[in-house]
Amino acid sequence: MSEKKGFAGKVAFVTGAANGIGRAAALAFAREGASVVVADVSEQDNRETVRLVEGLGGRALAVRCDVTRAEDVKAALAKTVEAFGRLDFAFNNAGIEPKNPAPTADYDEEEWNRIIDVDLRGVFLCMKYEIPLILKQGGGAIVNTSSGAGVIGIKNSPAYTAAKHGVIGLTRAAALDYAAQNIRVNAVCPGYIDTPMMGRFTGGTPEGRAKVIAEEPVGRMGTPEEIAAAVIFLCSDAAAFMVGHAMVIDGGQTIQ
C-alpha cells in the first residue's frame, strides 16, 4: 500500500464488487485506506475480491447481497456496521445488461422488469438503507453507476436505457434531499469498459470487441480502474462542491 491514505478510518460499501468495475473500485477504496464491504450475489467472486484487497494490505468483508432484496441490503449494511462500526461511502454499482435486444414494442416484459429491478430499484433500495447510516456520523458520499445509456438513447435497449436514465434522476433527487445534511450523491456514466459484462456483451470474440471499439473515439475500451478513479474522486474532499453530478467517463463515445 504505497499510495496516499486519504480514506484511512473510513468505510466503503460497494455493490457488484465481485467483478469488473465494482472490484476495481473496492481495490481503489482499499488503496486509499478505507475498509471495504464487498457486496454481490456471487459469493465465490466476492471472496476473490476480498483476497485481492487483503493482498494490498487492506481490510475487506465479503457479504452475499442481492440488491433487489431489501432484506439482503439491510442485512449487508448491518454486517458492515458490525464489522467496521460505520459507513462513509457507498458505490451502488451492481447491474445487469440486456440479454435480448429488441425494439420497444417487441421488448420482453420479464426482461424489462428484471433490468429495472436490478439496475434502478436496486440503487434506490441501497440508498434507502445506506443514508441513515451515513447520516449517523455526520455525512459522507454516495456514487451510483449509470451509463452512457443514461445520457443518450440506445436502440433496441429500452429497459437498460430507462434504468440508467432513471439512476441519474434518482441521483439528483437524493442529492437534493441530503445536500444540506452533508451527504453528496453523484453518478458515474461509464462508456464501454472491459469487464466480464462486456465480455458477455461482445460474445468475447475479436469481431465483437472490434465493433464496440469502433464506437469509441479513443480507439479502445476503458478499464475498470478508469471508472474506479472517478468514484474515488467523487467521494473525496476534492469533489466537495459536486452534488447530483452525472460524470461521463467514456472516451468520447456519447459526444459524437
Ligand X SMILES: NC(=O)c1ccc[n+]([C@@H]2O[C@H](COP(=O)([O-])OP(=O)(O)OC[C@H]3O[C@@H](n4cnc5c(N)ncnc54)[C@H](O)[C@@H]3O)[C@@H](O)[C@H]2O)c1
Q: Which residues bind ligand X (CB under 6 A)?
A: 15-16, 18-22, 40-42, 45, 65-68, 93-96, 118-119, 122, 145, 147, 190, 192-193, 195-198
Q: How far is the CB of 130 from ligand X (least distance, A)?
A: 14
Nearer to ligand X, 193 or 232 (CB): 193
Q: Which of 107, 160, 178, 192 is catalytic?
A: 160
Nearer to ligand X, 94 or 134 (CB): 94
Q: How far is the CB of 171 from ligand X (least distance, A)?
A: 13
Q: What is the DSSP letter of 19?
A: S
Q: How far is the CB of 182 from ligand X (least distance, A)?
A: 26
Active-site residue flag, 192: no
**H or E stretch covering 249:** strand 246-249
First-to-final CA distance of the chain? 39
Nearer to ligand X, 58 or 122 (CB): 122
Nearer to ligand X, 75 or 135 (CB): 75
Q: How far is the CB of 197 from ligand X (least distance, A)?
A: 3
Closest C-alpha among 245, 225, 228, 223 to residue 175: 245
Alpha-carbon span 165 to 188, nearest angstrom: 12
Q: Half-sphere exposure of 226 toward its Cβ, with a 13 Å CA cutoff?
A: 16
What is 187-244 written as a DSSP string? Answer: EEEE-SB-SHHHHHHHTT-HHHHHHHHHT-TTSSPBPHHHHHHHHHHHHSGGGTT--S
Q: Which residues are catalytic?
A: 160
